[in-house]
Structure 1
């Protein structure tokens, strides 16, 4: 899936707006709109890098034939661009790596914003040296070669507990991961900013001496008082 220049510019503008939000605010906004909230369990493998980008999806599966051809993910990395985040479904498998150092190097060279894999990775030191964000369920040195194959790319995938479509907005930080459906992105963005503003006001009141029980009213946290 390749996007034209006007689409990429629109993506960049949207991502800049999401970049100022943490996953807690985005998760609350998603849930308030009846969408799947954020999820945990897939964490940064080094430091605390934040990732905000457009999902480029890949589904992996156990190899069921003799290995041949290019390594998994290489074709998708070659087509990826500077607004993209690679989102890899590997059914939570952690006994074999689904991402490694050479892939980090290739993705970094393409300007890719990061990778999220529902599986394990290896060569974390290389990703760290490159400053390339890798989110995974864990680390393992065992290679994917001869064990995994690329089943599909550019198709909807089940990533942990959430279905991710190509073009969805992905927000990841040390709290977890949120997936924002592309068709609802503007709506979620507005709701998340309201959550963030409401919580900032509550924090300001507490710092000014307000009682926690008064500042953190359930109706206020739920946004019900915004419409009063």
Structure 2
């Protein structure tokens, strides 16, 4: 049973946010708001797709099993079929003996309108996922099938993902730098501050490219 309703989320222009913000600016904003441990540890990197992933966390906890379930892939099928536009699958498979994500999972996610997948574990079918253009971050690749090795045990519950707490409905921002998790309680304030800060950094960048001094840029924009 889920601990929160992941559908009860603010309306945001996720495409716009993905175009103008990124994980580092949201990390800085979370710091400013007193949430200083909101980034996943190093090692979770882009494996397929391009650009910044911004969307609402749909969490799943996957654990090792010693036999295939009576309904093969049943929990995974139910999870994928529950995805909706704007969702990002966030899967804890940190005891990762096998691939927890692959091409058909990604294809189903695209069809459901999901924006990406974050896997604390392994994936497979990397080239096919990349050709699909679906953004997936994880710890690496392994061709070993998950059936009878790992299985989703719970969905829409609090998980630890790369050392950071993630709840269903949190805003996740992921790119080449890694993953930032914005708690749902501060999403509106964090988004406003992130858009503002990204704009200031654009101005600072322009001034630096024009030969401006770092000291002057700092005094004017207060960003680094």
Q: Residue 101 of structure 1 corresponds to which residue in structure 2?
A: 103
TM-score normalised by the chain length of structure 2: 0.86
Shift in alpha-carbon separation, 1:151–1:47, aligned structure 2, 3 A:
closer
Question: Superposition pairs for residues 139-178 of structure 1, below 5 Å?
Answer: 139-178=141-180
2:24 alignment partner, SS class: helix
Residue 65 to residue 143, structure 1, CA distance change in 2 (3 Å): closer
Equivalences, count? 217
* SS of equivalent to 2:94: strand
Higher relative contact order (CA 8 A, sep 6+): 2
Identify unmatched segments of 5+ residues in structure 1: 223-228
1-structure distance, mates of 2:24, 2:167: 21
Matched-pair contact (CA < 8 Å) for 1:28–1:37 = no
User: Could you say what secondary structure the match of 2:48 adopts?
Assistant: coil
Could you say which residue in structure 1 is the equivalent of 2:32? 32
Does the 8 Å CA contact 2:59/2:167 hold for their aligned counterparts?
yes
Distance apart, 1:219 and its partner CA: 9.1
Aligned counterpart, 1:89: 92
Q: CA RMSD in A?
A: 2.4
| Aligned twin of 1:205 | 207
Task: Specify every segment of 5 or more residues in structure 2 that has no aligned partner in the other structure, as ranges.
Answer: none
Summarize the Cα distance change of 1:205–1:43 in structure 2 as closer, same or farther, 3 Å threshold: same
Aligned-pair CA distance for 1:78:
0.5
SS in 1 for 2:29: helix
Cα 1:47–1:105, aligned 2, differ >3 Å: closer, same or farther? closer
1:192 aligns with: 194
Report the counterpart of residue 15 of structure 1 in structure 2: 14
TM-score by length of 1: 0.85
Match in the other structure for 2:59: 57
